[in-house]
Chain A
Amino acid sequence: NAGVTQTPKFQVLKTGQSMTLQCAQDMNHEYMSWYRQDPGMGLRLIHYSVGAGITDQGEVPNGYNVSRSTTEDFPLRLLSAAPSQTSVYFCASSYGLRVADTQYFGPGTRLTVL
C-alpha cells in the first residue's frame, strides 16, 4: 500500500488566493490530522478528524478549513492565503487518536505565499 500521500509537493500562491492541499491514506485509519512545520520549530496541529464526518480544531486552526467525507481523504483548505501561512504541511493518520498510537506521516507539501 502507498501509506499516506500528499499532493502537491510544492506550491506557490499569491496573497489572497485559495487552494486545497490533498491528503489520502489507504490504511483504513480512523484518525487523520494536519500539521504545519515552520523553520526551526516542531509540528503544530492545525485540524484533526476522528472519523468520516467528524473534525475538530487543533492548536493553530485559523485560516484553514477541513472536511472528512470519506475515511481515506482529508483535504486542507486555505481560504485566503497569507504570507504567514508559508510553511511545510504534513498530513498524518493513525488507528487511534491517542499519543501512544503510532502516527504515519505523509511526505509533506511545501507552501510559499508571496
Chain B
Amino acid sequence: LAKTTQPISMDSYEGQEVNITCSHNNIATNDYITWYQQFPSQGPRFIIQGYKTKVTNEVASLFIPADRKSSTLSLPRVSLSDTAVYYCLVGGYGSSNTGKLIFGQGTTLQVKP
C-alpha cells in the first residue's frame, strides 16, 4: 500500500476554509484516495474518495493534482462540529490490498469559536 503522510494536527476558526494535505509519493496507477472523518467517541465514517482532478460532495472537496503524489481535503466554512480526526488512505481495488486497510494517526482538526 502507498505510504501516506499528513499533519498530526491543525487549528482553525469557525467560518474559515480548512485544507488538509496528504502526501502519497508512491501512489500506484490503480490507487484511489479516500478520506474518513472520526468524531470523538465515534467510529470513522467515509467522507470522500477520488482518483484524479477534483471531487466535491455535500461535506467536502478533494483536490488531486495531475501527478497524484498528494491530495488536499478542503472543508468549506468549518464549524465547531467539524472538530474531528481526518484520515487519508490510499489504495485501490486490486487484490494486493486484501485485508490490509491500515489507518494511521490522521490529522486532528480543532475548530475554535
Contacts and interface: CB of A to CB of B under 8 A. Distances in A.
Interface of A: 4, 33, 35, 40-45, 48, 50, 56, 58-59, 90, 92, 96-108
A30 B16 CA distance: 40
A108 B100 CA distance: 20
Contact of A98 (B46, B92, B103): B92
A107 to B, nearest CB: 6
Interface in B42-74: 42-46, 49
Interface in B9-45: 31-32, 34, 36, 41-45
Contact of B44 (A56, A58, A99, A105): A105
Nearest to B36: A103
30 contacts: A42-B102, A42-B104, A44-B103, A45-B100, A45-B102, A56-B99, A58-B99, A90-B43, A96-B93, A97-B97, A97-B98, A98-B91, A98-B92, A98-B97, A99-B34, A99-B90, A99-B91, A99-B92, A99-B97, A99-B100, A99-B101, A100-B91, A100-B97, A101-B93, A102-B34, A103-B44, A105-B44, A107-B42, A107-B43, A108-B43
Contacts of B78: none
A4 B43 CA distance: 10
A63 to B, nearest CB: 19
B75 interface: no
A100 B34 CA distance: 7
